[in-house]
Amino acid sequence: MVQSEEYIAKQKAIAKSRLVIARKWVLIVLTYYVARAAFIIFPLFNEETTRQQVFEIIQFFMGICISCAIGLTFYNPSRLELIKYVLFF
C-alpha cells in the first residue's frame, strides 16, 4: 500500500508535536524532582543508609543527563528524537 506524500507529512508533523508535548512534561517532572531533592532529600542525606545514598547519587546524575538531553533538543530541534530515550528514564 502506497501512502501519499500529504499523509506522510501529516504523520511526521503529528509525531513532532507529540515529542514537543512530551518534552514539556519531562521538564515539569524534572522540575518537581529537582525541587524535591533540594528541599527534602539532600537535607536528610547524612541520616540515610549507604545504599540509599548511592541510589540518590545515581538519580542525581541521571537527572543531569536528562537535563543535558533536554537542552540539546532546545538548541538543536533536529535532535528532538532524544526525548524518546529520555522517557525511558
The whole-number pLDDT of residue 17 equals 92
Residues of the chain with pLDDT under 50: none
The whole-number pLDDT of residue 33 equals 87
The whole-number pLDDT of residue 21 equals 92
The whole-number pLDDT of residue 1 equals 60
CB-based contacts of 74-81 (< 8 A; 24+ apart in sequence): 80/16, 80/19, 80/20, 80/23, 81/19
pTM for the predicted model, two decimal places? 0.75
The whole-number pLDDT of residue 87 equals 82
